Amino acid sequence: MSIDDRTLCVDYHAWISQQQADLHELRSAINPSFPDDQTLVGLITKSLSHYHDYIVKRAEGAKADAPALFAPKWNSTFENAHLWLGGCRPTQYFRLLYAICGHEVESRLQEHLEGLRIGALGELSCEQLTRVSEFQCRTVAEEDRLTKKMVRLQEEVSDQPMALVASEKVDISESDLDSLIDRHARSLGHVMVEADMLRFNALKELVEQILTPRQAVDFLIAAKQLHSRIHEWGMRRDHQRGRE
């Protein structure tokens, strides 16, 4: 593992620890009592700030070694198999929101029919659902735009000058080849940084602009738990199969 890889790995594990600390604080805020919205907003802002700090570190890491972030060694093979440009698809936030919302309504349908309050994410209004749907469409369009960028970069590997070098049609020094690959890696890094910002902005708009503070806290808890458990499940699976 190179020095850059070790640095990226340390940043990742520091991020995981921060996620766990944020998750504990968010859970404590809603259980057993219900604090005022101002308190919840403060916790939401704090959590988003930690996320933003992490993607800034990732952007620095991308300058040093972007390819290392597209299939990180510190992830499980299961996690890496589902990465989109180095992370989750931003639209997964919407799928998670719909899944939780539907589950809460279904699991407490009788209370809903009787007009009683149910879980916060089961109380999304028609206006909120419309805004979520419109935002999802915009996010899908941005995902498609970045996916096309990535496709072009992948296709470049088979284009000139790399193809000519591989077929030994062109003589090139090792330093020139390194420069060629480094330039391609920087382009990969630019796309990953854009993807990270799309992920961050999608989450930020959902929890700050569309959901209520209580709904936003519930959603952040669910998102952090899902990320943590997928990592744990994937690592256990790799261990069972002798992958270290």
What per-residue confidence (pLDDT) applies to 10? 76
Query: For every one of its 244 residues, what pLDDT tens digit does the chain have, with 9 covering 90 and above?
Result: 444 667 778 788 899 999 999 999 998 887 656 668 888 999 999 999 999 999 999 999 898 889 989 988 899 999 999 999 999 999 999 999 998 887 554 455 444 444 444 447 777 888 999 999 999 999 999 999 999 999 999 888 776 666 666 666 666 677 777 788 888 899 999 999 999 999 999 999 999 999 999 999 999 999 999 999 999 999 999 899 887 6
Pairwise CA distance, residues 169 & 163, whole Å: 9
Q: Are 29 and 218 in contact (CB under 8 A)?
A: no
% pLDDT > 70, the chain: 83
Q: Are 224 and 21 in contact (CB under 8 A)?
A: no
Structure tokens at 69: 């972030």
Q: Are 150 and 85 in contact (CB under 8 A)?
A: yes
Pairwise CA distance, residues 118 & 120, whole Å: 6
What per-residue confidence (pLDDT) applies to 115? 45
What per-residue confidence (pLDDT) applies to 31? 66
Where in the chain are the domains? 3-240
Alpha helices in the chain (DSSP H): 3-30, 37-65, 77-81, 92-107, 109-113, 126-156, 162-166, 174-205, 213-240
In terms of Cβ atoms closer than 10 Å to its own Cβ (0-12, 13-18, 19+), residue 126 is: exposed
What per-residue confidence (pLDDT) applies to 86? 94
What per-residue confidence (pLDDT) applies to 114? 47
Average predicted confidence (pLDDT) for the chain: 85
What per-residue confidence (pLDDT) applies to 180? 81
What per-residue confidence (pLDDT) applies to 165? 63
Residue 211 DSSP class? S
pLDDT tens sequence across 5-30? 677 787 888 999 999 999 999 988 87
What per-residue confidence (pLDDT) applies to 121? 77
Q: Are 203 and 45 in contact (CB under 8 A)?
A: no
Q: Are 78 and 233 in contact (CB under 8 A)?
A: yes
